[in-house]
Structure 1
Amino acid sequence: MPRIRLLMCPEKRRSLMLGCHGNNASTSIRVLSSLRPNMLPVGRSKISKRMVQNLAENICKQVAHFNKGEVECLIREFHVLLEEPTNPARPIRGLDRWKFRGFLHHTFGLTDDTIMDGVFRTFDKDNDSFVSVYEWIEGLSVVLRGTLDEKIKYCFHVYDLNADKYISREEMLQMLRYSLRLPGEEDPYDGIKDLVEITLKRMDRDHDDRLSLDDFAMSVKEVNHVLEAFGTCIPNATRIETFEQRVFQTGPLDGALVLSPVFSAASVGSIATRWQCD
């Protein structure tokens, strides 16, 4: 079995390398089976079928909405993203902010920098500035196929820019100021400020001048369109279908890893108009 580089501490890596280089096939299989979901082999070599299958099996036990075959395909897609040119002297821990934002832009059509940073922060559950393979698949399970409750929590965390468990008036203003501004237009600050006041008045159920997760959830369940009220952070149905067809169409058991290039704010104005007319 060829040498592989693993995302783990040096001591653990050395012990696993010894197992992988042994002549006993069962030892190698036990080593692969012991890998945690975030231990993805990186580098320029292919991922073996056995490695993908064992990793997928572990992830399937913890992540909903994908079957084992689909998880295998997503692991391979993650590896494709990591195979883009990197500094060979720097260890790869996962998708960094810039690679992840590139994926969001080219694949899902997201364009707002503030929102894309929020999506990255929401995927990066352990706050290590990288999205691991497990975090990647867990996040996509919600974005692509999540329930309404899961998507409510996801969007709320994206919009909670300072991660204090509330969406403040200032955060609303920051997100809407850029997501609703068209190229060549003047800064619509005054209009956005009025929109924020209308939105806050309607969604702030406990009248504390900020939105909690409960405030946000109740508002979305009453008016579903406000799920992405502060900026688009979930791809539309066409983008989702295109991504799933491209990633899943090859099937989970294909032997070769083919390296190929990986490649809007919600209608808040209309919602606010409806609210004003109520």
Structure 2
Amino acid sequence: MSFGETLDASMDSMEETRFKKKQGPLIKELLAKKKVHFSQTEIECLLIIYYKLQKDGPEKQRAVSKNQFRDILHNAFDMTDGAMMDRIFSALDRGPSIYVSMETWISALSLFLRGSLEEKISYAFNVYDSMNDGYLGRDTMFNLLKSSLVSQSGEDDAEEAAKDLIEVITKKMDIDRDGRISFQDFKETVMKQPMILQAFGQCLPTRLAAYSFVTTFTPNRGKL
């Protein structure tokens, strides 16, 4: 698709052309990164979505805010665990800014929509290991599981259920039997059983939500 062809009918064609030309160097940089699983046209479409979100924010907002991104995760990707949001933001971008950069926006969507299992394993572990210790101890596991279970049952029931789950998960994932789950333990277990990737809480879009989002910028393919 050429720069003269309009990607978004709701934008003035000249405005869109100026935006894409301005972001040309960034688009080239993103395409050079092997971990970004989008074509040039797809990146352009996603950056235009970003631009429209930025314009919809408060006056003179210089980027998409984390609150706006939180709404995207909740409404578009069915990621509704509020207790997990701060961990997700930290895993995607450990900086203190209240904004989500264009680079982080594209990288996050590439991971969510087209990421390999190994990429998602690294990301999920980083979400759960919010202290960046390199392992998940029992206290960390308890806090993660209890938070995700509170909404499904009472506080006391969630605590007991979390303790029971810790025993089950530790037996399955703690390969070296040192009482904690290292990244290598986590990776080896999930590579064999991908269904337990999000054992400690949802940090990725549902498959249906991801497919629906993909079709907004690749309507003829919808490839995940």
Give the whole-Å Cα distance in 1 for the aligned partners of 2:128 and 2:59: 32
Residue 191 of structure 2 aligns to a residue in which SS?
helix
Counterpart selection for 2:90 from 108, 116, 121: 121
Name the larger-Rg structure.
Answer: 1
Alpha-carbon deviation of 1:160?
0.9
Per-residue CA shift, 1:162-210, capped at 9, x if unaligned?
2222222122111211223345x31221121111122112211222322
Give the whole-Å Cα distance in 1 for the aligned partners of 2:22 and 2:182: 42
Give the whole-Å Cα distance in 1 for the aligned partners of 2:147 and 2:178: 25
Q: 1:73 maps to what in 2?
A: 45
* TM-score computed with the length of structure 1 as normaliser: 0.66
Q: 2:154 maps to what in 1?
A: 186
Alpha-carbon deviation of 1:129?
4.4
Q: Does 1:51 align with 2:22?
A: yes
Q: 1:96 maps to what in 2?
A: 65
Q: How large is the Cα RMSD of the aligned pairs?
A: 2.2
* TM-score computed with the length of structure 2 as normaliser: 0.81
Q: 1:214 maps to what in 2?
A: 184
Question: CA separation of 1:249/1:125 partners in 2, compared to 1, >3 Å: closer, same or farther?
Answer: farther
Q: Does 1:112 align with 2:76?
A: no
2:137–2:180 Cα contact (<8 Å) kept: yes
Q: Does 1:84 align with 2:53?
A: no
Give the whole-Å Cα distance in 2 for the aligned partners of 1:217 and 1:249: 34
Q: 1:199 maps to what in 2?
A: 169
Which consecutive residues of structure 1, in runs of 5 or more, have no partner in the other structure?
1-44, 251-278
Which consecutive residues of structure 2, in runs of 5 or more, have no partner in the other structure?
1-14
Give the whole-Å Cα distance in 1 for the aligned partners of 2:127 and 2:39: 26
Q: 1:224 maps to what in 2?
A: 194
Deviation >4 Å, runs of 4+: none
Question: CA separation of 1:246/1:217 partners in 2, compared to 1, >3 Å: closer, same or farther?
Answer: same
- The 5-angstrom pairing of residues 129-140 of structure 1 reads 129-140=98-109
Give the whole-Å Cα distance in 2 for the aligned partners of 1:180 and 1:170: 15
Give the whole-Å Cα distance in 2 for the aligned partners of 1:87 and 1:207: 54
Counterpart selection for 1:234 from 189, 204, 211: 204
1:101–1:117 Cα contact (<8 Å) kept: no
Give the whole-Å Cα distance in 2 for the aligned partners of 1:231 and 1:145: 20
Give the whole-Å Cα distance in 2 for the aligned partners of 1:131 and 1:208: 38
Q: 2:10 maps to what in 1?
A: none
1:74–1:137 Cα contact (<8 Å) kept: yes
